[in-house]
Amino acid sequence: MNKIKKWLLSISPSLIAILSGVFAGFIIMLISNPANAFSGLIVILKGGWNSGMKGVGQVLYFATPIILTGLSVGFAFKTGMFNIGASGQLVVGALASIYVGINWTFLPGHLHWIVAMLMGTLAGMVWGMLVGLLKAYRNVNEVISAIMLNYIGMYGVNYLIKSSNSMYDILRNQTANVAASAAIPKAGLDNIFYNLIGKFKDVSSVNAGIIIAVVVAIIIHILLNRTTFGYELKACGHNRYASQYAGVNENRAIILSMAIAGALSGMAGALMFLAPPSGMHIHVQEVLAPQGFNGIAVALLGLSHPIGIIFAALFIAHITVGGGYLQSLRYMREIIDIIIGLIIYFSAFSLLMRNIVLRATRKRKQYAGEEEAGV
Amino acid sequence: MGEYIIEMLNITKDFPGIRANDNISLQLKKGEIHALLGENGAGKSTLMSILFGLYKPDAGRILKNGKEVNINDPNDANRLGIGMVHQHFKLVHNFTVLENIILGVETTERGVLKMGAARDKVVELSERYGLKVEPDLLISDITVGMQQRVEILKMLYRDNEILIFDEPTAVLTPQEIEELMLVMRGMADEGKSILFITHKLEEIKKVADRCTVLRKGKMVATVPVATTTVEEMAEMMVGRKMRFTIDKDEVSLGKPVLSVDNLCVKGAHEKNAVNNVSFDVHEGEIVCIVGIDGNGQSELAYAIAGLMDVASGSIKFMGEDISRATVRTRNDLGLAHIPEDRYKYGLVLDFDLQQNLALKNYYAPELQNRGFINYPAVREQADMLIEKFDIRSAQGADTMARSMSGGNQQKAIIAREINADPKLLIAVQPTRGLDVGAMMYIHEQLLQQRKEGKAILLISLELDEVFQLSDRILVIYEGNIVAQLAAKDATPQLLGLYMAGSKGESA
Ligand SMILES: Nc1ncnc2c1ncn2[C@@H]1O[C@H](COP(=O)(O)OP(=O)(O)OP(=O)(O)O)[C@@H](O)[C@H]1O
Ligand SMILES: [Mg+2]
């Protein structure tokens, strides 16, 4: 009983943040298309349910990469670092997995997609680790190096795609299709998430990626809360002096935690793009992957808690999919993007504001003298 | 107008799991110094924080000059003339003394700071009350004692007439304490009313008019200090008779555990903070380093513990050179460390108590299995230490360190370090902020460690503690050891001379 109360209390800030986000979105809808605002709100809130089981499957599909980028940001955050580099790590991971997915066709059966996914994860890991190394040995602020690596990653990937024969689909200006054996399997999910149109099975894009993401979240949860490694990372995150005093190797903790954060984002990239021909491809354009930044919102809403992050990602995917159906109410594409973006970021920022206010009041309480942290 | 300037009536304050203040009433007379005494966790800081507007009481009223007032935040308190000096000062380190004093109440003329008038007022106040400060120095460059004077001037500058001091003497040297007592007396004579928290009974005896005693959140009594003995006050505080002396057995010395040889540690400026220091600490020996705060003793302790780099010289531990060893290596060899700054190094405030108690051995076989922490064992260790060291908190092993009372945080650190069963224990101000009962207990524990053949390096500003515990005393002055004495040959006067640098001997 007490446990439930505590739990409710701990997630209530996220719920309040979401409500205020939805409210802010509603205001924009009232402004842009007042007649349909209310029914529009219903559409958004219905999310995937607007189109039955397929829609629900789409929610899971969109949730997959942002669970992982959310974990990436949240994990780094637990260890005291702000990983704004998820975008770059994601795209680098995506390219590595696509490369393997297209070229390493000698890999038999399931091994192909698994290796492709792991190579993507590894590439993201290297990209994240660079940030950690720079911070540990050169004391470079992780935000600055991560932002730079986002752009280096994006332009570098574009360059590599264009200069590659095998990977470039010049007509569509995007990456070529990966081999069928490199696509993440459906794992039976296509038998659950589909709509019947007459005899035709309209199948959702969801695949085993969502299962992998959830399992990874649970592993990260265990890593953080049950292992000595997690203990060290959290100690560093909360108070680096105390962790020094305890004999924790701080540089190692910084490097490893950024490496893991990078690996999570890299895996997000792999799961997104290891898709059948009808699925996603990297477009050669000068845009940072939005999933990376959505990861920040997800981590904030999920309070950096791995399980919370799963639900936060599901919520954001739900709203995003719901927004897609707004077009039927004659909302313009751009307005929809604004509304959805507003809901997501307003939620995240209202939570951020709340944390700042809380911290400020706690500071005030610390002013009582007994509780000042060694800042 | 009545006799009381402030009355806190029937104050009750609950925190999750504990009633920190239970129906407490405290009446402060105008112009008096009113001491607040109680064991660690008795609720003193909570009560004062309520008066200063940091917490809202769950029940009770506060009257000023007989009229009920509402204090919602420190600004309200300030408007009512209530000021507070916190145990850990809240000064902006890269601001000057003067800027800190006027911060928040700056007077401006067309948007431009009017420093001149402010400076005059500060100088006037500092002369009137004998609070020596250098208005133009940066906070980061002045001693703790001067920082505290800045805090006091901040209150005076705001014309506060009710002054709260939460354990102001815990961080001061004996000389500075002496001065502070005089300043407090002077302020009271000028009509200011003072609330004064301390664990040192002789300070209460010396300066306070009345004393309110709290025990476990409840009020025991308010007594006139002149007619109450120190023993009586202590007894009221703990609820039973207290012993004030501890026995110190003869212990024969063993091998040297720590050998420091020509050690130099760089200071913030050009001069070495620790300069060519050499000494040994043997098994079964308590060696104490005394000196006025800021003479290199902190750096010496940090260097031995591995938290500060050695510039030259060597540190040997059981014969092995550890001058460049990692902190972990030193800990594993058997070095424990009660650090001077408990918030910076000693605790992870956002971990709970059990995790903090495992900070030094979370990776040891007894608490860990293949990289997985054995949380039941962590809890068991915590419960054992909580019981043994009487660490009081609202929710036992699950209490967040942040919400524990200052003294109990300190007890947790000591418990952890002694539990490590070290060969060498570096104890820096180990009993800072502890109540007399807890202090006695810790002293007994340290002597017990000595009896078991442990080496102890004690760094303390409390001469009572030094005489109580040490076998050998080294005096440090400007980074140099200027005297080495057997404890039995030392007197406070003699140490005072060495510490002030007015008497030197090459050790
Ligand atoms: N912010 C808080 N949240 C929860 N519990 C608290 C908080 N502040 C204090 N407590 C609890 O209230 C009790 C009284 O604490 P308080 O700090 O007032 O003690 P104290 O008398 O000042 O002790 P000390 O001499 O050790 O400083 C303690 O048990 C403490 O754990
Ligand atoms: Mg206190």
Q: The tokens of B205 are what?
A: 């005896």
Helix (H) or strand (E) holding A318: helix A306-324
CB contact under 8 A, B351 and A235: yes
The span from the CA of B386 to the CA of B56, in Å, is 29
Q: The tokens of B373 are what?
A: 């922490």
CA-derived radius of gyration, chain A = 21
The span from the CA of A89 to the CA of A261, in Å, is 9
A339 in any annotated domain = no
Is residue A98 a contact partner of residue A113, using CB atoms and an 8 Å limit? no
Quick one: pLDDT at residue B270? Answer: 75
With contacts defined as CB-CB under 8 Å, which chain B residues touch A364?
A: 54, 73-74
How far off is chain A from B507, nearest CA to CA, in Å?
Answer: 31
Quick one: pLDDT at residue B433? Answer: 87
Structural domains in chain B plus CATH codes:
4-238 (3.40.50.300), 246-334+422-507 (3.40.50.300), 344-421 (no CATH)
A104 in any annotated domain = yes
Mutation pick for ligand 1 pocket among B8, B19, B45, B200 (CB with most ligand atoms within 8 Å): B45
Q: Strand, coil or helix: what is B29?
A: strand
Residue range of the domain that includes A181: 53-315
With contacts defined as CB-CB under 8 Å, which chain B residues touch A219?
A: none
**Ligand 1 pocket residue status of B300, Cβ below 6 Å:** no
CB contact under 8 A, A245 and B88: no
Q: The tokens of B287 are what?
A: 């060696």
Quick one: pLDDT at residue B505? Answer: 54
**Ligand 1 pocket residue status of B407, Cβ below 6 Å:** yes
Partner residue facing B402 (CB), from A234, A241, A371: A371
The chain B residue lying nearest A239, using CA atoms, is B348
Q: Which atom of ligand 1 is nearest to the CA of B199?
A: 25
Is residue A186 a contact partner of residue A208, using CB atoms and an 8 Å limit? yes
CB contact under 8 A, A243 and B348: yes
Q: What phi, psi does B223 have (nearest 5°)?
A: -125, 150
CA atoms within 13 A on the CB side of B352: 15
**Ligand 1 pocket residue status of A334, Cβ below 6 Å:** no
Dihedral sign (CA B350, B352, B354, B355):
negative
The chain A residue lying nearest B47, using CA atoms, is A368
Which of B69, B63, B140 is CA-nearest to residue B100?
B140
Cα-based angle A342, A329, A197 (whole degrees, multiple of 5): 110
Q: Strand, coil or helix: what is B267?
A: coil
Cα B43 to averaged position of ligand 1 atoms, centre (Å) = 6
CA-derived radius of gyration, chain B = 24
> Is the whole-model pTM more than 0.90?
no
A45 in any annotated domain = no
Cα B199 to averaged position of ligand 2 atoms, centre (Å) = 10
Cα-based angle A64, A70, A72 (whole degrees, multiple of 5): 110
Partner residue facing B373 (CB), from A226, A249, A368: A226
CB contact under 8 A, B362 and A249: no
Is residue A162 a contact partner of residue A168, using CB atoms and an 8 Å limit? yes
CATH number of the domain that residue A136 is part of: 1.10.3470
For chain B, residues with pLDDT lower than 70 are: 1, 108-109, 111, 113, 504-507
A268 in any annotated domain = yes
Is residue B160 a contact partner of residue B78, using CB atoms and an 8 Å limit? yes
- In DSSP terms, B263 is beta-bridged to B277
**Mean pLDDT split into 10-residue runs, chain A, 375 residues:** 73 80 85 84 86 90 96 94 95 96 90 96 97 94 94 94 87 87 88 85 89 97 95 93 93 95 97 88 87 90 91 91 84 78 77 68 45 31
DSSP A227: B
A111 in any annotated domain = yes
Is residue A306 a contact partner of residue A71, using CB atoms and an 8 Å limit? yes
The span from the CA of A228 to the CA of B406, in Å, is 28
Biggest CA pair distance of chain A: 72
Q: The tokens of B226 are what?
A: 């002149």
Interface test with B, best of A2, A236, A245, A252 (most B CBs within 10 A): A245
Using CA positions, which residue lies closest to atom 12 of ligand 1?
Answer: B20
CB contact under 8 A, A228 and B343: no
A239 in any annotated domain = yes
The span from the CA of A179 to the CA of A274, in Å, is 9
Q: Which atom of ligand 1 is nearest to the CA of B16?
A: 4
A90 in any annotated domain = yes
Using CA positions, which residue lies closest to atom 6 of ligand 1?
Answer: B403
Q: Which atom of ligand 1 is nearest to the CA of B217?
A: 14
Is residue B344 a contact partner of residue A242, using CB atoms and an 8 Å limit? yes
**Ligand 1 pocket residue status of A370, Cβ below 6 Å:** yes
Instruction: Say if strands B372-373 and B256-266 run parallel, antiparallel, or are unpaired.
Output: unpaired
Helix (H) or strand (E) holding B463: helix B463-469
Helix (H) or strand (E) holding B215: strand B210-215
Number of domains composing chain A? 1
A164 in any annotated domain = yes
The span from the CA of B493 to the CA of B485, in Å, is 13
Helix (H) or strand (E) holding B36: strand B33-38
How far off is chain B from A6, nearest CA to CA, in Å?
Answer: 12
